[in-house]
Structure 1
Amino acid sequence: MFGSEPVAEQTATDKSTASSDAIANQTIADAVASGVIQTSRPIEVSSDLFKLRFDESGAVITRAELLKERQEADWTEVGLIGKILGNKAPELRNIVLFDVSPSRAYVAQTGLIGGNFPNHKTLFKYSGTQEGTKIVGDGKNQKTVATKTVVFTARTGDVTVEKSFEILQGHYGINVSHKIINNGDTQISPSVYYQLTRDDGKPEGESSMYYTYTGPAIYTNETKFKKIDFSDIEDKPETVAREDDGWIAMIQHYFVSAWADAPGAKKTEHEFYTRKLDKNLYAVGSIVRIGSVAPKSWTSTNAVLYVGPQDQARLAQIATGLDLVVDYGWLTMLAKPIYSVLKALYDAVGNWGWAIVLLTCLVKLILYPISAAGYKSMARMKEVTPRMKALQQQYGNDKPRLQQAMM
């Protein structure tokens, strides 16, 4: 159903002599854009925000249920009469982003390219889930949070990859690391790819009353924020840019998944792309060059996988420009600061309803001088209206004398 080309492999000679351009061409044409979504033994891990299902095939998250986010009620399924009669809308379930099911294909994939290395089709071994704590934040905002780290390992040829997913309490950003061990006698130069693969179907639970954007987005320092419709990918399979920074995302109404560099990560070349993998199946990805790994040594690379609501404050902490996925349209200049004030009020009172009431009062207070001037103008008009009517009756159709009298 989700088939595509197999991941290409290289010989040891190829691995040591391939140019960067050759590797780049191989990655997009053969390796990264493989649309195979395989499943094997599932491993479930829960936190305060997530219920995640991992799969040993590729060591990927195949299901991400957001425990504190519920679907919107779609009253079109009940109808106006049903609503008047008090009929209940369908039961609201938790939002599910990543999912592999008969009706949905949506996963986050990673792997190595540039040689015979573990990738998103390799069978990994689940090594366990480690619980611990971690200090997050800066200065006075520092706090200790609980963590769960899910670890998978795989070996292909002379290369071992240890892939870890660190889940932090209260955070929608999952820290993903790849420890790459070169067990061989020759130097290797792999690249790591981060990919979001999704079908073009409408998100479950989304209202049919209005249109919202669902699809990929890419942000680079050069081109900034760019949405790419699934239909555009159909017409132009590859959209490639090379930058030293940026991120990729898959957007839907109110929610987003995104791959971004870990905070403080060394800037290195990124290659961004979009690709149609199969019928109704598309991918957006980023290829990051790791550099050379000497024989009998190792290196590591880190990234953040955000899976959650389009919360501007949270998104801005993950990566520069990631908060742009919150689309206000042409009202951005006005709506963005208003939302910031609304969020501050919510943080103060802890209730969105009261936050909206306070915001309304604040807006009315700010606009009071304009409103007051309008009321004064209306009062003056009310005073002069009887006099104007009297003059109109007195002078009739003699407009020059009427105008002179009114002046």
Structure 2
Amino acid sequence: MDSKRLILFIALSFAIIFFWNKWLETRYPPPPKPAAASAKVTPAGADVPAAAAPGAASAPPDSNRLQSGERVRVRTDLLDVQIDTMGGDLRQVALLKHGMAGDPRKPFLLLTDQGNRTYVAQTGLLGAGLPNHRARFQAGGRDFQLAPGQDALSVRLTTAGPDGVQIAKIYTFRRGQYLVDVKYEIANGSTKPLTASAYYRLLRDGHTENPGFFGAHTFTGPAVYTEAGKFQKADFSALDKGEAEHVKAARNGWVAMIQHYFASAWIASPKGQPAVCGPRDCRYEMKRLSDGLYSVGMIVDLPSIAAGGKFETSVPLYVGPQETRLLDEVAPGFDLIKDYGIFTVFSKPLFWVLDQIHKVVGNWGWAIILLTLLIKAAFYPLASASYRSMARMRKLAPRMEQLKERYGDDKMKFQQAVMEMYKTEKVNPLGGCLPMLVQIPIFIALYWALIAAVELRQAPWMFWIHDLSVKDPYYVLPVLMAISMYVQTLLSPPPPDPMQAKMMKIMPVAFSVFFLFFPAGLVLYYVVNNVLSILQQWWITRQIDREGDAPSSARKKPA
């Protein structure tokens, strides 16, 4: 009876995984082709705001393609950046400390407008004759590099507005930071007050990547955070249907484009600094544009600038990895961009513990092994009770065969006799399933923690494991896991039915097939966990065997 329940439990687990994968495919479908006639679209070059500030005029619609001027290149210790003088856009950002998926030696391209990809950061001013992202700027140079010992590097772009208005856009890059300060300096050389708004947006195509296997569909798309509305994100497919397009107002928050491991974001309320929105609310918007492009942005209404006066406003732009320690320092709620799926309540604490261990050992592979030891120690009493139950059931196997021969085809009496035997010997027939039940939430939570952790991306362990975030290239760990699972079946009580016994021996091999495509870090956890379970189960079984050749009631004649 216990074997049947175990097999049913395993089958149910596979069913849950299968339907979970199907649900995620429905929840995160690949983006449809951008030709939906029913979709509400806006020209790709159209201005971000739905309505401009009082007295400010909306910029005219653009063509669907980005226009280009000259390129200004900026290199720091972390970033390799290209700024286009057309609009002063940030057109390309390469992350020097992170490699491309196919070639770790090449810096990872986060923002780019090359080939069929469009992912850029744009800013502009709204007001009569003021420069938007189509205005041409002048730069004081074409190549800038952060020198050794230099902590900050500024790149100044200038252009002229109407009636003697002068505008400068200044990018400031700092050593060791993925935050780029973007400042507007506006000098009103006219004879009347100037009213304007500034907009900041991220423009992106609908290209998505869903790495992993069995449900590792990480979110890709725009997100908005405010203290009032909290964290809200929208699938590209939802924007295609017009379901998530909206304009919201708040005096704090941020807008972001999120993808697996990396993100870009305009920050209206940086941590430890006053919000840039001032006395008026910022307006946040995400929407679908034409040609498969999507926009998320915010508008900041600037105070009136008196004739002959000057005004400055700065908004930080984050372009970098979703490293937990970095996200916590950017803005309130910014850590929410790290996608742990629906298991955040378990995955986040698990990763915190893993991160603390890594600070000590300096290697993510050994950190995973030590985390496994901690988890095993935490559940040691529960696992011990379960293994004792399994060891006692194993010793009862000969008596089970005797009862089966005695009652033959009378299953009712056989089951009653078996349950009476369990009651007399104080054995829980379901106790052996308890360790697996305990491991399932830990397994799923750790799975999502490792899937979301850019810290493990291209992080080596030892020997042939050069990247813990992808599958084992030689499948050594999955094979070791299959062997460990098979050993566990040998230590478990043998099923009375020969067919069930064969299935129990086949199940480790069948189950291990799924782990061929899991991240090496996750399989490493499971291999170590199985080895520890085998040692614990072997030791407890040996103790039970030493208690006597048979349980006390076994020496009595069966009724």
Q: Which has the larger radius of gyration?
A: 2
How far off its partner does 1:51 sit?
0.7
Structure 1 pair 365–401 and aligned structure 2 pair: CA distance change class (3 A):
closer
How far off its partner does 1:314 sit?
0.9
**Does structure 1 residue 242 correspond to structure 2 residue 249?**
yes
Report what 1:321 is aligned to: 333
Alpha-carbon displacement from aligned partner over 1:95-120 (angstroms, at most 9, x marks no partner):
10111123111110111113321221
Tell me the TM-score normalised to structure 2 length. Answer: 0.59
Aligned mates of 2:346, 2:63 — CA distance in 1: 42
**Does structure 1 residue 107 correspond to structure 2 residue 120?**
yes
Structure 1 pair 395–228 and aligned structure 2 pair: CA distance change class (3 A):
closer
> SS where residue 373 of structure 1 aligns?
helix
Aligned mates of 1:156, 1:93 — CA distance in 2: 40
Of 57, 60, 69, the residue aligned with 1:40 is 69
Structure 1 pair 401–42 and aligned structure 2 pair: CA distance change class (3 A):
closer
> SS where residue 387 of structure 2 aligns?
helix
**Does structure 1 residue 61 correspond to structure 2 residue 67?**
no
Aligned mates of 1:132, 1:31 — CA distance in 2: 41
How far off its partner does 1:154 sit?
1.5
Structure 1 pair 65–32 and aligned structure 2 pair: CA distance change class (3 A):
farther
Structure 1 pair 379–108 and aligned structure 2 pair: CA distance change class (3 A):
same
Report what 2:369 is aligned to: 357
- Do the aligned partners of 1:33 and 1:277 also contact (CA within 8 Å) in 2? no
Structure 1 pair 388–193 and aligned structure 2 pair: CA distance change class (3 A):
same
Report what 2:224 is aligned to: 218
Aligned mates of 1:320, 1:293 — CA distance in 2: 30
Report how many aligned residue pairs link the two structures: 365
How far off its partner does 1:339 sit?
1.1
Aligned mates of 2:401, 2:370 — CA distance in 1: 44
How far off its partner does 1:232 sit?
2.4
Letter in 2 for 1:125: Q
Aligned mates of 2:131, 2:297 — CA distance in 1: 17
- Do the aligned partners of 1:274 and 1:285 also contact (CA within 8 Å) in 2? yes
How far off its partner does 1:211 sit?
4.0
> SS where residue 294 of structure 1 aligns?
coil
> SS where residue 358 of structure 1 aligns?
helix
**Does structure 1 residue 185 correspond to structure 2 residue 191?**
yes
Aligned mates of 1:376, 1:289 — CA distance in 2: 69
Letter in 2 for 1:46: R
- Do the aligned partners of 1:217 and 1:250 also contact (CA within 8 Å) in 2? yes
Which blocks of at least 5 consecutive residues in structure 2 are unaligned? 1-41, 425-559
Alignment of 1:231-380 (within 5 A): 231-236=237-242, 238-261=245-268, 262-263=270-271, 264-266=273-275, 267-268=277-278, 269-380=281-392
- Do the aligned partners of 1:36 and 1:121 also contact (CA within 8 Å) in 2? no
Q: Which has the higher helix share?
A: 2
How far off its partner does 1:202 sit?
3.6
> SS where residue 132 of structure 2 aligns?
coil
> SS where residue 249 of structure 1 aligns?
strand
> SS where residue 318 of structure 1 aligns?
coil
- Do the aligned partners of 2:222 and 2:234 also contact (CA within 8 Å) in 1? yes
> SS where residue 159 of structure 2 aligns?
strand
> SS where residue 362 of structure 1 aligns?
helix
Aligned mates of 1:400, 1:208 — CA distance in 2: 44
Alpha-carbon displacement from aligned partner over 1:266-320 (angstroms, at most 9, x marks no partner):
4531101123332112211100122111111112111111111111221121111
How far off its partner does 1:191 sit?
1.4
Structure 1 pair 274–395 and aligned structure 2 pair: CA distance change class (3 A):
closer
Aligned mates of 2:251, 2:154 — CA distance in 1: 28
- Do the aligned partners of 2:184 and 2:313 also contact (CA within 8 Å) in 1? yes
Aligned mates of 1:367, 1:32 — CA distance in 2: 62
How far off its partner does 1:234 sit?
2.6
**Does structure 1 residue 156 correspond to structure 2 residue 158?**
no
Aligned mates of 2:247, 2:336 — CA distance in 1: 21
Report what 1:136 is aligned to: none
- Do the aligned partners of 2:45 and 2:66 also contact (CA within 8 Å) in 1? no
* CA-atom RMSD in angstroms: 3.2
- Do the aligned partners of 2:64 and 2:291 also contact (CA within 8 Å) in 1? no
How far off its partner does 1:159 sit?
2.4
